Chain A
Amino acid sequence: MKNIIKISIFIIIIFIVAVFFMGLNKDTNYNTNVLTGKKISNISLEYFDENKFYKEEDLKKNNYTLINFWAAWCAPCRKEHPLLMQLSKEKNLKLLGVNFKDKKKQAEIFLNDLGNPYDFLTKDELGKSSVKFGIYGIPESILINKDLMILKKFVGPLSTEDYDSIVEIIN
């Protein structure tokens, strides 16, 4: 009996130390890009220029949609913009832009300067709608398919690797 206790305590401690050791190599910065596989629902984004709303039914018309959250005041958004311009050329992909907590004039200037890659442009002035997508810092992008399932989440500006992975998925 005593030996069983000894061995089990030994195993428990080794286990705890091993977990601690592995935990040391983990990144403590939280990232929501692992939250894939769910479906988005209850979408209602106000168009940038018109008084209409872009809804779920509209999203279902596209094979793939990349929803990109950006703002004129966000410096990394400028960095990823050329990649978005490239992606806008993809036939199987539609780009839905969400202008996040921005002023209309600045946003228009931004798009005039750098180009407008978006097939559809919407705005979220208070940032409330973006919460439904799990956005916590821009730029962020979400790749969804026809069934509105989240295939990939990109937190931060898109990198060339991200670009490649998107192209691979949609083709």
Chain B
Amino acid sequence: MLSNFGNLLLFINIFLSLTIIYSALRCLKISSKFIPKTIYQISTLQSTLIIICFFTLIAGFIVSDFSLTTVYQNSHSLKPLFYKISGTWGNHEGSLLLWVIILTIFSFLFLIFTKNHPKEYRIFTLVIQNILILGFLFFILFNSNPFSAISPIPKEGLGLNPILQDPALAIHPPLLYLGFVGSSIYFSAAMASLITNYSQTTFAHSIKNWVLISWCFQTLGILVGSIWAYYELGWGGFWFWDPVENASLLPWFAMTALLHSLIVFEKRGLFYFWVITLCLLTFILSVTGTFLVRSGILNSVHTFASDPTRGIYILLFLTLMIFSSIFLLFKKYKKENYDLNPNSKETFILVNNWFMMFYLITVLLGTIYPIFTDVLTGNKISIGPPFYNVVIIPVVVIFLLIMAIGPKVKWIKEKFNNLKNYLLILLGSILINFLIILLFKSYSILSNLIIISSLFLIISSLIDAFKSFKKNKTNFARIISHASFGLLVMFIGLNDIFSVEKDYNIKLGETKNFDNYSIELQNLEIEKFSNYKAVIGSLEIKNNKTNKKNILKPEIRIYENPQTLTYEAAIKTSFLKDYYLTMSNIDRSDYYNIKFQKKPLMIWIWISVIMIALGGFLRLFQNEKYN
């Protein structure tokens, strides 16, 4: 019954999308400046129905209706309620429904919030957004339908992967989708802007907040994914340059570039076509990422189960999107006349975009290059952290310095008579870095540069904040985000420099010693839980200098549905450092392999990213206030 209801709603929504496209194009012929009420009504109905459709699927998961294939494949009656619900979007089919919801709701909200903009522009945005919606609805109905039914109805589900039963992972897709799926709206808006020649600076106003919203949520989505990886995957890292991680980072680079270019376009009307290009690029990258992740073309820790027909459909959709964007862009491109001074804020924002494109190309290349070598030469290569770190980190050093100086530069023309102040800040940064070396230990030249340049950004921002505060100016959004970016790089750098990792094979009762620490495997227990059995080790970490003791209990979990083995890390977090311990058994031996890590300042890495997003939300709030 749920299956039929869900399918019906999907069909109705296809019909509604077609209706909107038709009516919208029809009302272009009317001379009135206003969009007829019926279109608002259809849009409201569309959003309402798709939400009901989504809740229908959730209901299926909650009651464990195994007549629905998706529920059968991804859920189990013994699963805790919270994870039954989050399991709705934790699979390919269900998450596509989430895609459609966001596409639909953003379409509706854009319609409502752009009443002061030209009718034709809004109409075409609506039309193109609905074409995207149709594309995904067809994909769902004919390839990946969460409401497809199986008969006879199985008695029990195949269960959700235990690694996916985690609160961070539950909110990870919704956050990310508000980000990169949300970027669809300014893709459509950009196409509409080209079609209707809406190239005035007011165009920037219509998409500004959407770009901000999607950027903030993309940032948080990436953060939550990293937090999940850190706590759940057991390797103690939070970023692996895995293709799926990169897929979420690529739109972020484009969004950040767009965010900054919009400022220039809004203020001075420059770079319209570049802004349009970035709008189109962001969503194109989002769909490219979706293709890479769901088609099974790449090998990754995070892959969904793969099916080549999905890949073909998404690739086709992507190709159509790319060709139509490029076609329109070329057709409408006109050379711009502008007045650009090298010593200006505009230039520094251009430089931001320049660096963002560098990061984007590097990560994109690193992600898809193996596909090219495999297809063209048959040789499979791996591209991992060594590549990205070597290529990107040196450039980040310079980028941080520019980030510190850029925002203070005046529009149009800057006189640069406060160079002395910057030299002072640089001096201060080097001194603090020097102090760190003296107090603790020395590190590589590159690490030195990273610490110095991030300190430069942080100190500049703090001074900037202080000055603004005294003058009663409140541009804290930008200062918070930029300073937090500096903090992020600095904490990642310090964490990398001062992390300690030890790998031991240890037996019950044995103690291992290194530096000032002793680790003893004191106890091994076996405990039974509702859907798994756990071997829990009690390891005591003793700091021989301070005599402080910590007991960490890593686990080896044996799940039944499906049969999986997972390793739960024992993590002790404090403001100064995390202790991270994983344990695994060694086949045919009574030794256990333990990996102990001391990771300084971990929690500050998360806090920095939250603050980066916070700056964005603050800016959003300020924008709304001044409306």
Interface residues of A (CB under 8 A from B): 6, 9-10, 13, 17, 19-26, 28, 30, 34, 73, 101, 103
When chains A and B are docked, how far (Å) is the Cα of A19 from the Cα of B322? Answer: 16
The answer, among A13, A20, A101, for a CB contact under 8 Å with B297, is: A20
CB distance from A17 to the nearest CB of B (A): 5
Taking A20-B291, A20-B315 as given, write out 19 further A-B residue pairs in contact, using a Cβ cutoff of 8 Å, ordered by the A residue number: A9-B326, A10-B326, A13-B322, A17-B319, A19-B371, A19-B375, A21-B312, A21-B315, A23-B297, A23-B374, A24-B295, A24-B297, A24-B315, A25-B308, A26-B375, A28-B296, A28-B306, A30-B299, A30-B380
Judging by beta carbons under 8 Å apart, are B372 and A19 in contact? yes
Q: B30 within 8 Å of A by Cβ?
A: no
Q: List 25 A-B contacts (CB under 8 A).
A: A6-B330, A13-B319, A13-B322, A17-B319, A19-B371, A19-B375, A19-B376, A20-B297, A20-B315, A21-B315, A23-B374, A23-B375, A24-B296, A24-B308, A24-B311, A24-B315, A26-B297, A28-B296, A28-B298, A28-B299, A28-B306, A30-B299, A30-B380, A34-B378, A103-B588
Residue interface mask B321-339, A partner, CB < 8 A = 1: 0110010001000000000
- Given known contacts A13-B323, A13-B326, A34-B378, is B296 in contact with A20 (CB within 8 Å)? no
Q: Which residue of A lies closest to B326 (CB)?
A: A9
Interface residues of B (CB under 8 A from A): 291, 295-299, 306, 308, 311-312, 315, 318-319, 322-323, 326, 330, 368, 371-372, 374-376, 378, 380, 588
CB distance from A94 to the nearest CB of B (A): 30
When chains A and B are docked, how far (Å) is the Cα of A101 from the Cα of B368? Answer: 38
When chains A and B are docked, how far (Å) is the Cα of A19 from the Cα of B378? Answer: 12
Kindly list chain A residues whose C-beta atoms are within 8 Å of the C-beta of B315.
17, 20-21, 24
When chains A and B are docked, how far (Å) is the Cα of A103 from the Cα of B589? Answer: 12
CB distance from A13 to the nearest CB of B (A): 6
When chains A and B are docked, how far (Å) is the Cα of A101 from the Cα of B330? Answer: 64
Kindly list chain B residues whose C-beta atoms are within 8 Å of the C-beta of A73.
588
Kindly list chain A residues whose C-beta atoms are within 8 Å of the C-beta of B326.
9-10, 13
When chains A and B are docked, how far (Å) is the Cα of A128 from the Cα of B295? Answer: 37
Q: Which residue of A lies closest to B312 (CB)?
A: A24
When chains A and B are docked, how far (Å) is the Cα of A151 from the Cα of B378? Answer: 18
Kindly list chain A residues whose C-beta atoms are within 8 Å of the C-beta of B297.
20, 23-24, 26, 28
Chain B interface, DSSP helix/strand/loop, else mixed: helix
CB distance from A44 to the nearest CB of B (A): 24
When chains A and B are docked, how far (Å) is the Cα of A6 from the Cα of B333? Answer: 12
When chains A and B are docked, how far (Å) is the Cα of A30 from the Cα of B318? Answer: 28
Kindly list chain B residues whose C-beta atoms are within 8 Å of the C-beta of A9.
326
CB distance from A46 to the nearest CB of B (A): 19
CB distance from B301 to the nearest CB of A (A): 13
**Interface pairs A-B: 3 shortest CB-CB:** A23-B371, A28-B299, A24-B311
Interface core residue of A9, A22, A23, A103 (most chain B CB under 10 Å)? A23
CB distance from B585 to the nearest CB of A (A): 15
When chains A and B are docked, how far (Å) is the Cα of A21 from the Cα of B311? Answer: 8
When chains A and B are docked, how far (Å) is the Cα of A103 from the Cα of B298? Answer: 38
Kindly list chain A residues whose C-beta atoms are within 8 Å of the C-beta of B374.
23, 26
When chains A and B are docked, how far (Å) is the Cα of A28 from the Cα of B319? Answer: 23
- Given known contacts A28-B297, A30-B380, is B371 in contact with A20 (CB within 8 Å)? yes
CB distance from A32 to the nearest CB of B (A): 10
CB distance from A71 to the nearest CB of B (A): 10
CB distance from B283 to the nearest CB of A (A): 16
Q: Which residue of A lies closest to B299 (CB)?
A: A28
When chains A and B are docked, how far (Å) is the Cα of A55 from the Cα of B374? Answer: 36
Kindly list chain A residues whose C-beta atoms are within 8 Å of the C-beta of B311.
24
When chains A and B are docked, how far (Å) is the Cα of A20 from the Cα of B322? Answer: 14
Kindly list chain B residues whose C-beta atoms are within 8 Å of the C-beta of A20.
291, 297, 315, 368, 371
Q: Which residue of B lies closest to A20 (CB)?
A: B315
Kindly list chain B residues whose C-beta atoms are within 8 Å of the C-beta of A21.
312, 315
- Given known contacts A17-B315, A28-B298, A30-B380, is B375 in contact with A22 (CB within 8 Å)? yes
When chains A and B are docked, how far (Å) is the Cα of A17 from the Cα of B378? Answer: 18
Q: Which residue of A lies closest to B371 (CB)?
A: A23
Q: Which residue of A lies closest to B311 (CB)?
A: A24
CB distance from B242 to the nearest CB of A (A): 14
CB distance from A5 to the nearest CB of B (A): 9
CB distance from B377 to the nearest CB of A (A): 11
When chains A and B are docked, how far (Å) is the Cα of A24 from the Cα of B291? Answer: 10
When chains A and B are docked, how far (Å) is the Cα of A28 from the Cα of B368? Answer: 14
Interface core residue of A22, A28, A30, A103 (most chain B CB under 10 Å)? A28
Q: Which residue of B lies closest to A6 (CB)?
A: B330
Kindly list chain B residues whose C-beta atoms are within 8 Å of the C-beta of A101.
588
Kindly list chain A residues whose C-beta atoms are within 8 Å of the C-beta of B318.
17
CB distance from A102 to the nearest CB of B (A): 9
CB distance from B505 to the nearest CB of A (A): 12
When chains A and B are docked, how far (Å) is the Cα of A17 from the Cα of B330? Answer: 20
Kindly list chain A residues whose C-beta atoms are within 8 Å of the C-beta of B312.
21, 24
When chains A and B are docked, how far (Å) is the Cα of A92 from the Cα of B326? Answer: 64
When chains A and B are docked, how far (Å) is the Cα of A101 from the Cα of B374? Answer: 33
Kindly list chain A residues whose C-beta atoms are within 8 Å of the C-beta of B295.
24
When chains A and B are docked, how far (Å) is the Cα of A69 from the Cα of B299? Answer: 27
Q: Which residue of A lies closest to B292 (CB)?
A: A20
CB distance from B587 to the nearest CB of A (A): 8
Kindly list chain A residues whose C-beta atoms are within 8 Å of the C-beta of B588.
73, 101, 103
Kindly list chain A residues whose C-beta atoms are within 8 Å of the C-beta of B306.
28
Kindly list chain A residues whose C-beta atoms are within 8 Å of the C-beta of B375.
19, 22-23, 26
When chains A and B are docked, how far (Å) is the Cα of A163 from the Cα of B380? Answer: 27
When chains A and B are docked, how far (Å) is the Cα of A64 from the Cα of B565? Answer: 42
Kindly list chain A residues whose C-beta atoms are within 8 Å of the C-beta of B323.
13
Q: Which residue of A lies closest to B318 (CB)?
A: A17
When chains A and B are docked, how far (Å) is the Cα of A13 from the Cα of B315? Answer: 12
When chains A and B are docked, how far (Å) is the Cα of A20 from the Cα of B371? Answer: 7
Q: Which residue of A lies closest to B303 (CB)?
A: A28
CB distance from A35 to the nearest CB of B (A): 10
Kindly list chain A residues whose C-beta atoms are within 8 Å of the C-beta of B319.
13, 17
When chains A and B are docked, how far (Å) is the Cα of A25 from the Cα of B374? Answer: 11
Q: Which residue of B lies closest to A31 (CB)?
A: B380
When chains A and B are docked, how far (Å) is the Cα of A22 from the Cα of B376? Answer: 9
